[in-house]
């Protein structure tokens, strides 16, 4: 879903556009995920400041093994297979930015920071044509 604003956004030091991807990111690409989601796996603890995490893109074969029935070509995994840090509940819809381009949108995962289960994102590069078509039409 794309949202059409009633008025153009006013860009400030806090509000900036982001570039769509020029290509899909290869495994190992370092990316930044940010959000206001839960800080702990058991219970609820939300942050008082925006949280950011640098993490790599994980290859599709590894992601398919982690999520054999759910992972599709329209998804991309990023994070750490050993666990320890990841996006969490409340981060959904947030950006995964790689080299200044929006490569992912936080979608889902298995708990938070669980070993063997990286976070899963919408693979934005798969939707470039659709995004451009919708924006051109409106």
This prediction's pTM: 0.94
Which residue(s) pair with 66 in the sheet? none
As a whole number of angstroms, the distance between CA 74 and CA 43 comes to 31
Q: CA 42 to CA 52: how far, in whole Å? A: 20
Overall CATH class of domain 30-40+48-137: mainly beta
Report the alpha-carbon distance of residue 125 to residue 71 in Å, rounded: 16
Domain ranges of the chain: 30-40+48-137
Residues pairing with 83 in the sheet = none
Mind giving me the DSSP string for 42-76? SS----SS-EEEEEEEE-HHHHHHHSTTT--TTEE
Tens digit of pLDDT per residue, the chain (138 long)?
Answer: 899 999 999 999 999 999 999 999 999 999 999 999 999 888 999 999 999 999 999 999 999 999 999 999 999 999 999 999 999 999 999 999 999 999 999 999 999 999 999 999 999 999 999 999 999 987
């Amino acid at each position: 879903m794309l949202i059409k604003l009633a008025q153009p956004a006013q860009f400030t030091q806090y509000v900036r556009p982001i570039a769509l991807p020029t290509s899909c990111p290869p495994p190992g690409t370092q990316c930044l995920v940010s959000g206001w989601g839960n800080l702990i796996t058991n219970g609820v603890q939300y942050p008082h400041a925006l949280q950011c995490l640098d993490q790599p893109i994980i290859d599709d074969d590894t992601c398919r093994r982690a999520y054999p029935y759910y992972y599709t070509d329209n998804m991309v995994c990023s994070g750490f297979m050993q666990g320890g840090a990841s996006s969490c509940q409340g981060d959904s819809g947030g950006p995964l930015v790689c080299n200044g381009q929006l490569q992912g949108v936080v979608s889902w995962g298995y708990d938070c920071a669980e070993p063997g289960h990286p976070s899963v994102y919408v693979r934005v590069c798969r939707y470039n044509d659709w995004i451009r078509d919708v924006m051109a039409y409106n």
